[in-house]
């Protein structure tokens, strides 16, 4: 939680993304799983479209990867998010803690590090828990039917 005046500031308030220890980096993830949504690219225009289809490795109910340590080997299109890459990933949602902190902005009230409760990201409607579909069983040719018209999800 955010610190009071008589305690030290929280790690995410004092460190740059590059300075975070691995466990701090992982704790900064809010658990929304928006980064696990499948994006489609128009081959003619290069425009990317967000869908409500989630990666087959995502446990949608938990908003967690089923094989986090091996995800990049299992799913070649899984984009590594790191202090070095976060600034270049333009499709991260405006609510993403990595993006916010990289831009010097504060975390939202619903972020588990602020609220102290991992459920607030879901209660606030930020996560994909209640509306995403797994890519398993969805015909790749029909994926365009699941494009999110309003990317503010």
Residue 151: which pLDDT band, with cuts at 50, 70 and 90? low
Interatomic CA distance for residues 3 and 40, integer angstroms: 41
Which residue, among 95, 96, 62, has the nearest Cα to 79 in the 3D structure? 96
- The pair phi, psi for residue 53, each rounded to 5°, is -95, 125
Give the β-pairing of 37-41 and 58-59: unpaired
Structure pTM? 0.87
Sorted by where each begins, the domain ranges of the chain are: 11-146
pLDDT digit string, tens, across residues 82-137: 999 999 998 999 999 999 999 999 999 999 999 999 999 999 999 999 999 999 98
């Amino acid at each position: 939680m955010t610190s009071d005046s008589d305690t030290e500031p929280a790690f995410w308030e004092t460190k740059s993304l590059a300075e975070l220890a691995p466990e701090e980096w992982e704790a900064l993830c809010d658990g929304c799983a928006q980064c696990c949504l499948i994006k489609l690219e128009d081959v003619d225009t290069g425009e990317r479209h967000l869908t409500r289809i989630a990666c087959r490795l995502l446990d949608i109910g938990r908003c967690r990867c089923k094989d986090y340590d091996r995800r990049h080997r299992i799913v070649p299109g899984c984009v590594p998010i790191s202090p070095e890459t976060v600034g270049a990933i333009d499709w991260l949602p405006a609510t993403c803690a990595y993006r916010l902190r990289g831009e010097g902005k504060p975390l939202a009230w619903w972020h588990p590090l602020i609220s102290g409760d991992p459920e607030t990201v879901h209660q606030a409607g930020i996560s994909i828990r209640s509306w995403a579909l797994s890519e398993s069983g969805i015909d790749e040719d029909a994926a365009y039917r699941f494009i999110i018209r309003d990317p503010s999800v």
